[in-house]
Amino acid sequence: MNYRRVRNTLILTFFLNLCVSIAKGVVGALAGSVSMVADAVHSLFDSVSNIVGLISIYIADAPPDTRHQYGHGKFETIGTMVVGILLLITAVVVGYEGFGRFFSGSVPDITPLTVAVMVATIGVNITITLYERRVGREEGSSFLLADSQHTASDILVSLSVLGGFVFVCLGYPVADALIALGIAVLIAKMGVEILYNAVEVLADASAPVDYDKIDAIMQTTAGVYSYHDFRCRGKPGEIFCDLHVVVDPDITVREGHLIGNRVRDRMKAEVEGVVDVLVHIDPFFGSAGPTEAEKDTDKDT
């Protein structure tokens, strides 16, 4: 993973999110729009998550040390969990506002300026979401993918405000509260999914790898007869694997070691996200061992 690119992406999105929050807050306060000021607070959560991301990415980029011999990559996952918690908090706040509007009958304040600012900030947030999602997928960054969902939640909140504007103009003010409640449920669902995926990584659940690619490597690596007990853990962009490789029982320890190195190097180079592989060499004990030609081929390589 290119942590520098991830960090630069977070710095850019931090300033954009901060500008969006300030624009909504200032215009909402001047226009006396309570719903818009509340939406500005929701947008501010995006900037907070960016700061959390910068801290977690900085720690995750640190090299292995005596206390963290597998590196610090899981600190990114911890940061991802914080984003999930922020989403749940956002869902609670939006839901609380929705219930308040439903029972009080209050409606959002509508002016041409507030509508124009909401539309403009939605456009900025859509750009941020798409950019973070693209970089997150390219770099295998779980935090950027989670943060893109956090920004997407801000889009949903803003759309709920605009939707409230529309239904108030049409004479259905209660729809404003119902939209807010529906958006709260969607945001909560995002938060739960992000937390679940982060916990899976921290619990060493099987990491997503291309098993077909691994099979192809085993079948085309000279000296490998078969493999078994394959395991992997980690997060996208930082996957650790271990497996047993079966080889000719008559070769030397050095030859077996070289076969294991070939397997390790190919998996790191050809399987996306794999950063380290532990290979255990097993002798072949089948009833029909390798042919003499196969043995000669293995020794030549």
Average pLDDT over residues 257-265: 95
The domain ranges of the chain are 3-202, 211-300
Phi, psi of 234 (to 5 degrees): 120, -160
Structure tokens at 136: 């997150």
Q: Which CATH architecture has domain 3-202?
A: Up-down Bundle (1.20)
Which of 3-17, 85-99, 148-162 reaches the highest mean pLDDT? 3-17
Residue 246 bridge partners (DSSP) = 226, 282
Q: Is the pLDDT score of 299 beyond 90?
A: no
Nearest to 98 by CA among 44, 40, 162, 161: 161
The CATH architecture that domain 211-300 belongs to is 2-Layer Sandwich (3.30)
Is the confidence at residue 79, as pLDDT, over 60?
yes
Dump pLDDT digits (tens) for 173-225.
666 677 777 878 888 888 898 899 889 888 888 888 889 999 999 999 999 99
Query: Is there a contact between 236 and 142 (Cβ–Cβ < 8 Å)?
Result: yes
pLDDT of residue 17: 82
CA distance 88 to 76: 19
Mean pLDDT computed over every residue of the chain: 81
What is the layout of strands, in order, in the sheet containing 238-247? 226-235, 238-247, 274-283
Tell me, yes or no, if the two domains 3-202 and 211-300 fold the same way. no
**pLDDT over threshold 70, residue 82:** yes
Q: Comparing C-alpha atoms, which of 130, 153, 132, 131 is closest to residue 144?
A: 132
pLDDT in the model for residue 295? 44
According to DSSP, the residues that pair with 234 across neighbouring strands are 239
- Which residues have a Cβ under 8 Å from the Cβ of 253 and sit 6 or more positions away? none
Place of tokens 């982060």: 198
Q: For position 106, what pLDDT does the model report?
A: 60
* C-alpha–C-alpha distance, residues 175 and 38, integer Å: 18
What's the whole-number mean pLDDT along residues 253-265? Answer: 94
Does residue 292 have a pLDDT over 60? no
Residue 297 has pLDDT above 60, yes or no: no
Residue 152 structure tokens: 């997407």
